[in-house]
Structure 1
Amino acid sequence: MTTQNLANITDHPKIAVSGTEYDRIRENLKYFAGRYPQIEYKDSNGTKQKRDYNHLPVGRTAAKKIASLVFNEQAEIKLDDKNADKFIQDQLQNDRFIKNFERYLESCLALGGLAMRPYVDNGKVRVSFVQAPVFLPLQSNTQDVSSAAIVTKTIKSEGQKQKYYTLIEFHEWKDGERYTITNELYKSDNPDTVGARVPLSTLYEDLEETVNVNGLSRPLFTYLKTPGMNNKDINSPLGLSIFDNAKTTIDFLNETYDQFMWEVKMGQRRVAVPTQMIKPEYNQQGEKVIVKRQFEAGQNVYEQLDNGDMDKGIGITDLTTPIRSDDYIKAINEGLALFEMQIGVSAGMFSFDGKSMKTATEIVSENSDTYQMRNSIVSLVEQALKELIISMIELAIAYDLYKGSVPTMDKISINLDDGVFTDRNAELDYWIKVVNAGFGTDVMAIEKVLNVTPEKAKKIKNEIDGNTLDEANAERSLEDVSTYGE
């Protein structure tokens, strides 16, 4: 079993995803991280130079903005069963899940998918986030991924050399019932290859090669992917990045922005001078090799004028050209407008024409493209979180960390706050009309307008009616006691 060699992770016989799909994910990561090679060019003297590529972080900005609209710290996860709810709240709070999920949702939107896998650590159920480059489906049906491999890479110094280890964790169903986790370790001298399989004890002393987990009704991991069809590979179970079909527009934006920044840099003053002001230098053979300018060192604003003659009054001529800022800004905004259309958000979310600016309500109104796209993502997020909660409880039961029943999907509620899309004044007017028409109660209106639980709404209604008194902060007058009694 230790003779197997792998050049690429997708060469493993169990992995059912093509290398092309993972090349696409790595390219998405380049756009998300903003990793671009330096620009090579020749300066005025013909010397090769390099400079950083100026780019706009469009991919990261889009993923971050949409992720914050979908999920934030106002999100709530509730279970009908009080014991199960208390257990889950303790685990999520201990693991800072809400905060971490908002951050990793950016990666999901930018790379097309995200897996979440619960595990047990010191008597607590924690959640590990597995990003797209290290999550490899093994089997899948038309709706979900049922088996997958999770990859962990480790670098270890051995003597004067670096060794690269790759741990592949296979999650599979055996005989359709038994859930099995199989671990394989590979070692390589080259970071670009997986290498040869070695015993697990080489790096992990306590890790078993095969582990069976009993009592699971679904895969231990939960895979969340972006909505929509994968039009790059219609047979792939992996999702697309939100900007997968807008890469050419991102390239256009980056190229335009880079030219604009370079034109600003090169738009400094530049003049032509007569040859009398240029001092040539010669080598030992008498050949002219360098034209040295007789001005302050470091200045680059002078160019030679071969036919110039200071005695004839030609002198120094200003060659500075104006910067085409308006043209570049217009082109960038046109590119941003096209980018908005391609990723499916409302016009004006990223672009700004400098003349009129849409309000946040206009951009994210209930009829907008952004609102519709958010709803598509929210439905998938809610489903994934419910599946994760079930897996966490099943794992806790398997390790005797929780005593109780496993909740069903309909007993788990996910509340993702969408207050940014709600016109509070319009909602208040609506509920006032509902109550006045006799179609609803005051408690219903308070619950919806203030976004509180029914119990909290009843308490607020009682306080408004004067039926309750905060004993800690208020004292009853003698007149009140004599009138209404103790």
Structure 2
Amino acid sequence: MRYSKMYEALTKVLEKDEQITFAMTDVTSRQIELWSLMFKDRAPWINEDTKSMGLPSAISSELARLITLEMESKITGSSRATFLDSHYQKQIRKLRQFTELACAKGGIIFKPYVTENGLATQIVQADSFFPITFDDSGNITRICFVEQFRKANSIYTRVEYHKLEGTRLTIRNRAFKSDTDGILGSEISLESTERWSDLAEEITIENVTKLPIGYFKVPLANNKDADSPLGVSCFSRGTDLIHEADIRYSQISWEFESKETAIHIGESLLKYDKNQDKLVYPGGKGRLYRAMEYSQGAVDKPLLEAFSPDIRDTSYFNGLNQQLRRIEFACCLAYGTLSDPNNEAKTAEEIKTSKQRSYTFVSDCQKALQDALEDYIDAMDLWCTIYDLVPQGSHRVSFIWDDSLVVDTEKERQTDRSDVAMGAMQLWEYRMKWFGETEEEAKKAVGMNDQTALIDDMTE
């Protein structure tokens, strides 16, 4: 499915019914399509001469790793909370993978739904949903989800339309059949396809405050479409730089290939094999030898000549390394993540600034992801209530993010040790912070319980 083509097709179909004006523009739809292609190493500039370095997937993977590193989250509070947590943990275990897809394409949606076996979750990537309207708080109020499959020569498309008006949620399903990619084709009934025959054409739910989804979007502004409320790819600002890096990388590959050692040998020195209709090279090493025709004469080249020119690798790699540093800056990565770490910024201030840029962006992504997961949990809770899947009950969700992404943990620990040594921090406070002990456990470990009891007795 080409995202930009589907955007145009949906616009034509939906405008007839509800005079819909999409919150996104054709500029953003083309961007999402480009980011998706780049992530798959199928950027428009990739061809026989220009190879891909795989930078989009590498950038997305690294940021996803930093965002979800040692992340823990769970739902507690009641039997309903236990039920929700059992489904929630299935997604948490794959959260890094989902985050990588979101970083690459600008966003992702956690969409729970009810099945015969209870709850399930659909992970919808940015090139499979189409936001229509947002409220003043930036929450989606109308959206289309698109699902497609092929059967024989036909393409079947289901459009799931969600609309929130006040506190009324309306969900509609429509199906289409086409023989041409990029268009919806003619509308068909849901019952005509076995895959969607159990779905209702329309349902309405009252007393709903937000759409039953969790939308995680990368917290970056869209520098190509400043008014767009959608998230953008983590490498959106480095698109042109990545294109140039692929060119540099391809030039290096050609430099090594074109300068490969060879022996130029006169054809007269080679044996001709009639059965194979070709010249036979010494030892069968056809890659090493290149047959040449030499005319007779005193000034002719020798019949054997080594070809082994110098490779200009240093200049090429220096140029590529500088290009990678530009990409790191544009994509909120610390220097040395993609580029040669031996050539990383050397001054303490440069290193601190470089790492802080990455840590700040990662922290912003963690906050956005937490908001999305909280909305996702609320959506699961809504479906549990509507379909009476489990008795009512309160639930609380906790999140633990790895502080070392934002703080130099070892440096902070050394500082706390110095504070304990000079008396500015109590040893039991240190144990509570770094050993995870309660105040009672920490004081007992440092022998303060007897002293505390004595003070309490004196006070009484």
Q: Does 1:18 align with 2:25?
A: yes
Distance 1:28 1:39, change over 3 A: closer
Tell me the CA shift for residue 324 of structure 1: 1.7
- Contact 1:134–1:152 at 8 Å: present in 2 too? yes
State the distance in 2 between where 1:39 and 1:146 align.
38
Pick one of 362, 370, 374 that aligns with 1:386: 374
Residue 345 and residue 103 in structure 1: after superposition, are their counterparts in 2 closer, same or farther (change >3 A)?
same
Please state whether the residue corresponding to 2:220 is helix, strand or coil: coil
Q: Does 1:60 align with 2:57?
A: yes
Task: For residue 23 of structure 1, report the CA deviation from its aligned partner.
Answer: 2.0
Residue identity in the other structure for 1:243: F
State yes or no: 1:88 paired with 2:84. yes
The Cα of 1:272 is off from its aligned counterpart by 4.6
Instruction: For residues 386-432 of structure 1, give each alpha carbon's deviation from its aligned partner in whole angstroms, at most 9, with x where no partner exists.
Output: 2222222122112213444666xxx6442222335544443334445
Question: How many Å separate the matches in 1 of 2:315 and 2:211?
Answer: 54
Q: Of 415, 434, 443, which aligns to 1:449?
A: 434
Contact 1:108-1:225 within 8 A present in 2 as well: yes
Equivalent of residue 128 in structure 2, options 134, 142, 145? 134
Instruction: Tell me the SS of whatever aligns to 1:130.
Output: strand
Provide Cα deviations, 1:208-246, integer angstroms capped at 9, x if missing partner: 100123442211112211112212112322111111121
For 1:222-261, list aligned pairs within 5 A. Answer: 222-261=214-253
Aligned mates of 2:292, 2:384 — CA distance in 1: 79
Pairwise CA distance, 1:75: 1.8
TM-score relative to the length of structure 2: 0.80
What is the CA distance between 1:255 and its match in structure 2? 1.4
2:227 and 2:344 mapped to 1: Cα distance? 44
Partner SS state of residue 241, structure 1: coil
Q: Which residue of 2 aligns with 1:188?
A: 178
CA contact (8 A) 2:34 2:43 kept: no
Matched length = 428
Give unmatched runs, 5+ long, in structure 1.
Answer: 41-50, 281-290, 468-486
Q: Could you say what secondary structure the match of 1:379 adopts?
A: helix
Q: Which amino acid aligns with 1:67?
A: A
After superposition, the Cα gap between the structure-2 partners of 1:78 and 1:444, relative to the gap in structure 1 and judged at 3 Å, is farther
**Native 8 Å contact 1:309 1:315 kept in 2:** no
Q: For residue 306 of structure 1, report the CA deviation from its aligned partner.
A: 5.7
2:36 corresponds, among 29, 32, 35, to 29
Partner of residue 157, structure 2: 166
Answer yes or no: is the 8 Å Cα contact 2:113–2:120 preserved in 1. yes
Q: Give the letter for the 2:370 counterpart.
A: E
What residue is the counterpart of 1:288 in the other structure?
A: none
Asked if 1 retains the 8 angstrom alpha-carbon contact of 2:38 and 2:56, the reply is: yes
Structure with bigger RCO (C-alpha 8 Å, 6+ apart): 2
Counterpart secondary structure, 2:164:
strand
Pairing partner for 1:108 from 99, 102, 107: 102
Q: Tell me the CA shift for residue 86 of structure 1.
A: 3.1
In the TM superposition, residue 332 of structure 1 has moved relative to its aligned partner by 1.6
- Distance 1:146-1:441 versus aligned 2 partners, 3 A rule: farther
Tell me: CA distance 1:162–1:466, structure 2 relative to 1, closer, same or farther (3 Å).
farther
- TM-score, normalised with respect to structure 1: 0.76
For residues 275-297 of structure 1, the C-alpha deviation after alignment (integer angstroms, 9 at most, x for no partner) is: 866999xxxxxxxxxx9767567
Q: Distance in 1 between matches of 2:215 and 2:423?
A: 46
Once the two structures are TM-superposed, the CA of residue 133 in structure 1 deviates from its matched residue by 0.4
Distance 1:416 1:426, change over 3 A: same
Alpha-carbon distance, 1:102 to partner: 1.6
Secondary structure of 1:90 counterpart: helix
Q: In 2 relative to 1, CA 123–299 (structure 1 residues): closer, same or farther, beyond 3 Å? A: closer
Match of 1:415 in 2: 400
**Against the structure 1 CA distance between its residues 90 and 273, is the aligned structure 2 distance closer, same or farther, given a 3 Å change threshold?**
closer
Q: Secondary structure at the match of 1:8?
A: helix
Q: Please give the per-residue CA displacement for 1:131-178, whole angstroms capped at 9, x wherever unaligned.
A: 00011011113522221111111122xxxx33211111111124x221
Unaligned 5+ runs, structure 2: 1-5, 450-460
Matched AA of 1:386: E
Match for residue 297 of structure 2? Answer: 309
CA drift at 1:265 = 2.5
Post-superposition CA distance 1:289-331 (Å, at most 9, x none) = xx97675674474264665637967433334322222122212
Moved more, 182-191 or 388-397: 388-397
Go from structure 1 to structure 2 and tell me whether the alpha carbon gap of 1:313 and 1:76 turns closer, same or farther (over 3 Å shift): closer
C-alpha contact 2:429 2:442 (8 A) present in aligned 1: no
Please tell me the residue identity of whatever aligns with 1:145.
I
Q: Give the Cα separation in 1 of the matches to 2:292 and 2:413.
A: 73
Q: Which amino acid aligns with 1:189?
A: D
Contact 1:365–1:422 (Cα < 8 Å) also in 2: no
Distance 2:300 2:70 in 1: 75
Which residue matches 1:154?
A: 149
Structure 2 Cα separation of the partners of residues 38 and 235 of structure 1: 28
**1:201 alignment counterpart:** 191
Structure-2 separation of matches of 1:366 and 1:437? 33
Root-mean-square deviation (Å): 3.7
CA distance in 2, matches of 1:384, 1:421: 21
Between the aligned residues of both structures, percent identity stands at 22
- Residue number in structure 2 paired with 1:373: 361
Measure how far apart 1:447 and its partner are.
3.6
Q: Given that residues 172 and 180 in structure 1 are in contact (C-alpha distance below 8 angstroms), is that contact kept between their aligned partners in structure 2?
A: yes
Q: Residue 368 of structure 1: SS of its match in structure 2?
A: helix
Cα deviation for residue 371 of structure 1 reads 1.0
